[in-house]
Amino acid sequence: MTSLDLVKMVTGNFLGVVVLLEMIVSGSRFGANGMSMNYYMMSCPFAEPIVKNTVIRALQADPTLAAALLRMHFHDCFIEGCDGSVLVDSTKDNTAEKDSPANLSLRGYEVIDDAKEELEEQCPGVVSCADILAMAARDAVFWAGGPVYDIPKGRKDGRRSKIEDTINLPAPFFNASQLIKMFGQHGFSVQEVVALSGAHTLGVARCSSFKSRLSAADPNLEADFANTLSKTCSAGDNAEQPFDSTRNSFDNFYFNALQRKSGVLGSDQTLYATPRTRGIVNGYAMNQAMFFFDFQQAMLKMSTLDVKEGSKGEVRESCRKIN
Ligand code: HEM
C-alpha cells in the first residue's frame, strides 16, 4: 500500500464517519427547519410532561376544554403559521387576532398560561408558547379518546398578531370548493380537509355560526335536526349546539351525523353533500381507525405550518405579550 492509498483510505473513512454522523443527527430532525422530536431533551427535559400534566388537570376540571385547545391550535397555525400569534393580547396600539369575531369564542388561554408559568420556573426562556399550544392540543385529543401522536418541537413565537390577518380563517358557510381551495393554499389535500374537519367530533358551535341555514328549506338538512337547531337558537345567538352526540369524546360520530344530514355548520354538511368528499366521509364513518390515522397525519402537518425558526421568532416570556 502506497502512502497515497493510505491517505485516501483515512480521508475516505473520515468522510464516511462525517456523513454517518450527519445522517444520525438529521434523522432525529424534522425537515430542514431545525425542529425535532426531542428538541427540549437537553434544555428542558420535562417540557412534555409539564404540559401534559397541566392539560390533564384542566380537562379533569372541565372536559370541554379539549375542544377549545384543539381549535385554538388550528386558529394559531392558519394565521401566520404555528407561532402562538393567537395567544397575544391586544394593546392600545394593536388589536390582536384573538379579538377578531372569528376568535371571540376561543377558550382555554389560561391552560397555556399555567403551563408556561411552570415551564418558566423550570427552564426560563426556553419553551415557546407555540410549542406549548401544539403539545396541549395533541394531549387534549388523546385525553378525549383520540389518536396518540408525536410532534416535532422547536417552533418560535411570532412578533405579529393582527386582527386583519384572521380574514384567512375558513367561514362556517363555506362550500366544499371554498374549503378545498383555502386548505389547499396551506398544502392540504382534499382527504386532509375532511380528516381535519373531523376535529368537529369535539365541541360545540353557537347559534350565530349556523342560524343562516335555518331561514330557507335546505335539502341537506334533515327536518328533525333542523328543528333541534331552531330550538337551540330560540335561546339566543350564543346558545350552544354540540357537533355530535358525544361532544367531549374524540370518535367518528361526527361523520355519522353528516350521513344523517345532521351536520351543524354549512361547512360540515357540505362535505357529505359534495360528491368529491362524500366518499371520504363515508369511509371515516365506517372505519374509525382510518379516520384516526389520517387525522393524526394531517395534524402533524398542520402543527408544522409555516413554523418560524431561529431569529425569525422568539421565546415569549408571557404568552400574552410579545417580548
Ligand atoms: C373546515 C373548516 C372549518 C370551519 C369553517 C370551522 C368553523 C368552526 C366554527 C364556526 C366553530 C364554532 C364557533 C362558535 O360558534 O363559537 C368551530 C368550532 C370548533 N372547531 Fe372548527 N372549523 C373548521 C375546521 C376546524 C379544524 C381544522 C379544527 C381543528 C383541527 C377545528 C376545531 C374546532 C373545534 C374543536 C371546535 C369546537 C370548539 C369548542 O367547543 O370550544 N375546526 N369551528
In single-letter form, the type of residue at position 207 comes to C
φ, ψ of residue 113 in degrees (nearest 5): -60, -45
pLDDT tens digits for 52-92? 999 999 999 999 999 999 999 999 999 999 999 999 999 99
With a 6 Å cutoff on the Cβ, whether 173 touches ligand 1 is no
With a 6 Å cutoff on the Cβ, whether 206 touches ligand 1 is yes
**Closest approach atom of ligand 1 to CA 207:** 15
Which residue do the cell numbers 401534559 mark? 52
Considering only CA atoms, which residue is closest to atom 2 of ligand 1? 170
Cα 244 to Cα 228: distance, rounded to the nearest angstrom: 12
Residues spanned by the domain of 191: 176-302
Residue pair 62/73 in contact (Cβ under 8 Å)? The answer is no
**Are residues 80 and 63 located together in one domain of the fold?**
yes
Give, in order, the Cα–Cα distances in Å from 301 to each of 55, 278, 295. Answer: 22, 23, 10
**Are residues 68 and 185 located together in one domain of the fold?**
no
pLDDT tens digits for 246-281? 999 999 999 999 999 999 999 999 999 999 999 999
Considering only CA atoms, which residue is closest to atom 41 of ligand 1? 68
* pTM score: 0.92
pLDDT tens digits for 196-245? 999 999 999 999 999 999 998 899 999 999 999 999 999 999 999 999 99
With a 6 Å cutoff on the Cβ, whether 271 touches ligand 1 is no
232 annotated to a ligand binding site: no
**Are residues 162 and 102 located together in one domain of the fold?**
yes
In this prediction, residue 13 carries a pLDDT of 56
CATH number of the domain where residue 139 is located: 1.10.520.10
For residue 235, being part of any structural domain is answered with: yes
93 annotated to a ligand binding site: no
For residue 206, being part of any structural domain is answered with: yes
**Are residues 255 and 192 located together in one domain of the fold?**
yes
**Are residues 195 and 152 located together in one domain of the fold?**
no
Q: Which residues are catalytic?
A: 75
**Are residues 222 and 76 located together in one domain of the fold?**
no
For residue 279, being part of any structural domain is answered with: yes
165 annotated to a ligand binding site: no
For residue 225, being part of any structural domain is answered with: yes
Q: Structurally, how many domains does the chain consist of?
A: 2
